[in-house]
Amino acid sequence: MIVIVMGVSGSGKTTVGELLADRMGCGFSDADDFHPAANVEKMRAGTPLTDDDRWPWLRALRHAIEDWEAAGESRIIACSALKDAYRDILAPRNDVVFVYLKGDTETIAERLKARKGHYMNPNLLTSQFTTLEEPADAIVVDITPPPPAVVDEIIDQLSARGLTREKRPI
């Protein structure tokens, strides 16, 4: 099973994704690692990415998803996946479960201000919320509880859909 933990920058995708992968006993990948250097430099400089910037990145990530599926590997991926069109590239066969980490602008802005060592410029938060098309078919989880509680909620919702049982307790 492939699960994409999605949301705007600062919503906790990597933190929650790593915890979820540990609980499920599977691999974790951060979609940021699939960005070409030019995209990283644009974001570092505070320049929003265009769709033309994102298409090759999304196709590379889809190729990796197909490789993991072909190998029979389950994987948790942290990826913004802000638009329906992006999610369509990532899951053209509805073979991916999306988990949307939902939070308000103020909460996420505070998180971004506190974050150290990440290339994402906090000034891009407004553009991320402008770009965001909330998914209609994702598991939606509020980001205000601590990350282990967010993971508990995700596990509960996956289990309610008959999709998984956790492998390891936190």
Give the residue numbers spanning the domain of 62.
2-160
pLDDT value, residue 10: 86
Q: Which of 8-12, 46-50, 136-140, 148-152 has the lowest mean pLDDT?
A: 46-50
Question: Which of 5, 57, 48, 55 is closest to 28 using CA atoms?
Answer: 5
pLDDT exceeding 70 applies to what percent of the chain? 90
Instruction: Tell me which of 50 and 17 has the higher pLDDT.
Output: 17
- What is the pLDDT averaged over residues 76-94? 95
Domain assignment present for 165: no
Chain mean pLDDT for the chain: 89
Q: For residue 164, is pLDDT > 90?
A: no
Alpha-carbon span 89 to 63, nearest angstrom = 10
| pLDDT for position 83 | 95
pLDDT above 60 for 168: no
Specify if 166 maps to a domain: no
* DSSP, res 76: E
Average pLDDT over residues 59-81: 96
CATH number at residue 76: 3.40.50.300
Indicate whether 168 belongs to any domain.
no
Residue 43, in any domain of the structure: yes
Q: Look at residue 26 and tell me if it is in a domain.
A: yes
- The CA distances from residue 103 to 8, 74, 77, 132, 142, in Å, are 9, 27, 19, 12, 6
